[in-house]
Amino acid sequence: AQSVTQLGSHVSVSEGALVLLRCNYSSSVPPYLFWYVQYPNQGLQLLLKYTSAATLVKGINGFEAEFKKSETSFHLTKPSAHMSDAAEYFCAVSERGKLIFGQGTELSVKP
């Protein structure tokens, strides 16, 4: 069975600082990986996805993630945090069409 682990349930950065949210996966087959963002009391919005094409994936709102097979990682980054980036972020892996989610990382952005 596939799984994802998000390191750090809460990350706090200053506005303008680098955002790094960590995700490691476990999969016996080439994975399809996703990052979603959730704002309070809302559904999930797809930020970006990796589907075995380019290893560096660019998403919406300035986010990007790099698939590293050797490290089984798919970390999410953004060069400069904005206050509006404060939200919950979920990494997920697709298994036979189902999404398996990580535990989530809450991102706080300090002014």
> What are the DSSP calls for 24-81, one per residue?
EEE-SS---EEEEEE-TTS-EEEEEEE-SS-SEEE-GGG-EEEEETTTTEEEEEESS-
Phi, psi of 85 (to 5 degrees): -80, -10
31 lies in the site for another protein, by CB under 8 A:
no
34 burial type by CB count under 10 A (0-12 exposed, 13-18 middle, 19+ buried): buried
Residue 74 touching another protein (CB under 8 A): no
Query: Please, which residue, 64 or 101, has the CB nearer to another protein?
Result: 101
Pick from 36, 63, 67, 74: which binds another protein (CB under 8 A)?
36
Minimum separation from the CB atom of position 63 to another protein (A): 16
In the region spanning residues 43 to 62, those forming contacts with another protein, defined by CB under 8 A, are: 43-46, 49, 51
Which chain residues interact with another protein by CB under 8 A? 32, 34, 36, 41-46, 49, 51, 90, 94, 97-99, 101-104
